[in-house]
Structure 1
Amino acid sequence: MTTEVYDHLANTSDSWYCTGFGNPNHSTVLYDIPTSMAYSVGSIYSSDSDKTCSTPSHTSAARLSDLHFDSTMSSIGSPTAASSPKPTTPSNHNNKKHFCIVTVNFQSIRKKGKDIVILVETISPDVIIGTETWLSSDISSSEFFNPSLGYNVYRNDRKSDAHGGVIIAVKNNLEFTNVTSGSNIEFIQLPKKKQMVIGAYYRPPDRVDDQYILKTYEEISALRSTHKKAVFIVSGDFNVPDIQWADNINIITGRIYPHRVSQRFLDLSHDLSLEQMVDFSTWNENTLDLVLTSHPAFMTRCKPPPPIGVRSDHDIVLFNTTHEVTRSRHPRRKILLWKKINQDNIKRACFDLCTSFLDRHFTTLDDMWSTFKTGLLGIIETHVPTKTSSSRFTHP
């Protein structure tokens, strides 16, 4: 290729093939390069003696010594456009606190108070759904759920049998209303612009009669129809091992229970537009503990922590959603600023209190304590500066 032909091709957008390199040219097709730089850009390596298009030979040391890097490349500057996008500020979506629900088959919750403390400290769920609580009306919730954990507990104990029963524990900083208890299920409602309705359900393995199954269907359907626009979640131990839920395949594959029992729960999921989210086994090789939700796209995580306690043989189901709920703010409180006190003024006030206290005649011990306590509180109120705490959530 002569110099005239090369210069002509370098100043056009035509593509051409170099027999020396074995590649087509790319300089003038993809980039806006000044005409004065076309020759130097076309070949990074240039030779004073060789004006043809060629590549350095790896076996010839003499040829490599004659080649030099074209210094004009250092003056090209930044390109007017680049294929790599500019780095953007990372979104804080992942920093938002997700709403966490855990479903636990307790198999007697009364003696699992320490296990519940460990569960709260490790996972810190917003809502705890419990099944097989095995409670009765003469057992107080404080016996197994320490009030210091900060949860409001709602129970639905079985009247005729000590086994069974469900429970819903909600963090006390969540605003919720409309607690509903049915014969087989417990529901709470969390208000927000888009409400959330959460239910706990347990089906005893021996209840396969049509009356019981139909009543369960009617109770859930009635509540679902009442809150059509709410985020609807029902979780618990359904005891339907014959249904295969994995990979969105909802078919009946087993014969442990009558076919009509499993079919009724499939109809419940289909008729109410609820999707089952648990795709792993929770008891042996069976998926008994389920999560049915009307908004599956809100789910960010569903995994099985190990069972709670020694006796329970069901894995816990942990379910996270991106739905935002209303959380109450911390009440403002008065903070005493002891570092800003005037010690001389407090000493004089305490001396005056002691003088008046000793000069006074008291008839009862309660009168003496009341006078002393009132005097000390008055000194603190008068001589100790204060400020009001913020109501925002902050880390301790």
Structure 2
Amino acid sequence: LKPHNLFSLPGYKIFRNDRPDRQGGGVLLAIRNNIICHEKLNRTIENNEGIAVQIETPLGHLLIASIYIPPNVRIHHELLQQIYNLNNNCLILGDLNASLQSMGSRRTNVKGRQLQQVLDEGYLQCIDNDLTTYARNNYEEKIDWILASQPTILFIDNVETEAPLGLKEDHKPLTFNLNMAADNKPSSPRLSFNSKSANWQLYRKTLNELLSNIDRTKTITTVEEIESYATTLTECIS
């Protein structure tokens, strides 16, 4: 995408973050004309390119972002954090050039470890599947990602990849359903927990500190003492 290159798509509003001073494209979002929307972010931070548009849904405002991070560039947490801070109900799509084995890639690269750091912070989660999104010369890998905050991540299903479009990089288009109808709220708040995004090291440290305050030498003989002890343990765990 260059400023002098015009692009239009019938029936869609186009939002773009051009790349005027380097080779290649940039990022773009196309939003259907019948959807109320407006641009919220158009930034490039240390070659991390992003465009974000807020749309209206039956469940409120949703921020949709498209990002691109080149292979030799570090994932810049500030861009992701800025998107989330604009609207903590957000959906981020993009080619991060990050492979993370624990989330479905064949291996983990440096960018994958950087992505894991983002996930460990807990404000974003990713679709956990083993669909490869890049195919070239008998090599396939998952390097394109769907990231989302809660509860948006719960409304995503039927994630699939399609055949490459024949472009130079041979990325596979990702398709999915986003079911945000007003009557399609999660049936239980329990669905909002994702153990993979938890900071278990911090949890273990905090739990040990709380358990160390319990007098384990005390003899428990009555029902009331048992119930009190059980309540204390429950409070430590939760």
TM-score by length of 2: 0.64
Report the Cα distance in structure 2 between the residues aligned to 1:312 and 1:207, rounded to whole angstroms. Answer: 17
Aligned-residue sequence identity (percent) comes to 22
Deviation of 1:164 after TM superposition, in Å, equals 3.8
Instruction: Map 1:39-50; keep pairs closer than 5 Å.
Output: none
Name 1:195's counterpart in structure 2: 61
Give distance in 2, aligned partners of 1:310 and 1:161: 19
* Alpha carbons 1:300, 1:321 under 8 Å: kept: yes
Partner of 1:275: 125
- 1:225-255 Cα distance to aligned partner (Å, 9 max, x none): 3323x2x110110101244313xxx9x943x
- By how many angstroms is 1:311 displaced? 3.8
CA contact (8 A) 2:15 2:39 kept: no
> Structure 1: how far apart are the matches of 2:124 and 2:87?
13
Q: 2:6 aligns with which of 136, 140, 154?
A: 140
Shift in Å, 1:268: 1.5
Determine helix, strand or coil for the equivalent of 2:36: coil
Specify the code of the residue in structure 1 equivalent to 2:103.
W
User: How much does 1:308 deviate?
Assistant: 1.8
1:188/1:324 CA distance change after superposition, 3 Å? farther
User: Partners of 2:153 and 2:18 in 1: how far apart?
Assistant: 30
Query: Which residue of the other structure, out of 225, 237, 241, is the alignment partner of 2:85?
Result: 225
Question: Residues 306-353 of structure 1, C-alpha deviation per residue, up to 9 Å, x if partnerless?
Answer: 12245451111002111149xxxxxxxxxxxxxxxxxxxxxxxxxxxx
Q: Which structure 2 segments of 5+ residues have no match?
A: 183-238
| RMSD of aligned residue pairs (Cα, Å) | 2.3
Pick the aligned partner of 2:94 from 230, 236, 255: 236
Which residue number corresponds to residue 286 of structure 1? Answer: 141
Contact 1:164-1:202 at 8 Å conserved across structures = no
- Residue 7 of structure 2 aligns with an amino acid whose one-letter code is S
1:153 is displaced (CA, Å) by 0.7
Q: Corresponding residue for 2:21?
A: 160
Report the Cα offset of residue 176 of structure 1.
0.7
Q: Which amino acid letter does the alignment assign opposite residue 238 of structure 1?
A: L
Q: Is the 8 A contact 1:136 1:162 kept in 2?
A: no
**Secondary structure of the equivalent of 1:182?**
strand
Q: Counterpart in 2 of 1:302?
A: 159
- Report if the CA contact (8 A) 2:100-2:116 is conserved: no
Report the Cα distance in structure 1 between the residues aligned to 2:155 and 2:55, rounded to whole angstroms.
16
Match of 1:177 in 2: 38
Tell me, in whole angstroms, the C-alpha distance in 1 between the residues paired with 2:41 and 2:167: 32
Report if aligned partners of 1:201, 1:236 keep a CA contact under 8 Å in 2.
Answer: yes
Distance in 1 (alpha carbons) for counterparts of 2:87 and 2:39 = 12
Distance apart, 1:221 and its partner CA: 0.8
Report the Cα distance in structure 2 between the residues aligned to 1:182 and 1:242, rounded to whole angstroms: 26
| Aligned structure 1 segments of 4 or more residues deviating by more than 6 angstroms | none
Deviations 1:152-183 (A, max 9, x none): 11111113202141110010110012431011
User: Higher helix proportion, which one?
Assistant: 1
Query: Is contact 1:239–1:288 with CA below 8 Å preserved after alignment?
Result: yes
Aligned length: 170
Alignment deviations for residues 51-89 of structure 1 (CA, whole Å, 9 cap, x no partner): xxxxxxxxxxxxxxxxxxxxxxxxxxxxxxxxxxxxxxx
- Name structure 1 gaps, 5 residues minimum: 1-134, 326-396
Which one has a bigger Cα radius of gyration?
A: 1
> Are 1:299 and 1:319, in contact at CA under 8 Å, matched by a contact in 2?
yes
- In structure 2, the partner of 1:206 is 72
Preserved CA contact (<8 Å) 2:65 2:83? no
Higher strand share: 2
Structure 1 pair 195/270, CA: closer, same or farther in 2 (3 Å)? farther
Q: Structure 1 199/272 Cα, relative in aligned 2: closer, same or farther at 3 Å? A: farther
Deviation at 1:205, TM superposition (A): 1.1
Secondary structure of 1:244's aligned partner: helix
* Cα distance in 2 for residues equivalent to 1:291 and 1:234: 6
CA distance in 2, matches of 1:203, 1:150: 29
CA-to-partner distance for each residue in 1:276-328, whole Å, 9 max, x for gaps? 11621111321011101122221121001112245451111002111149xxx
Per the alignment, do residues 262 and 311 of structure 1 end up closer, same or farther by CA in structure 2, a change over 3 Å counting? Answer: closer
- Give the aligned residue type for 1:188: V
Structure 1 residues 223 and 271: alpha-carbon distance in aligned structure 2, compared to 1, 3 A threshold: same
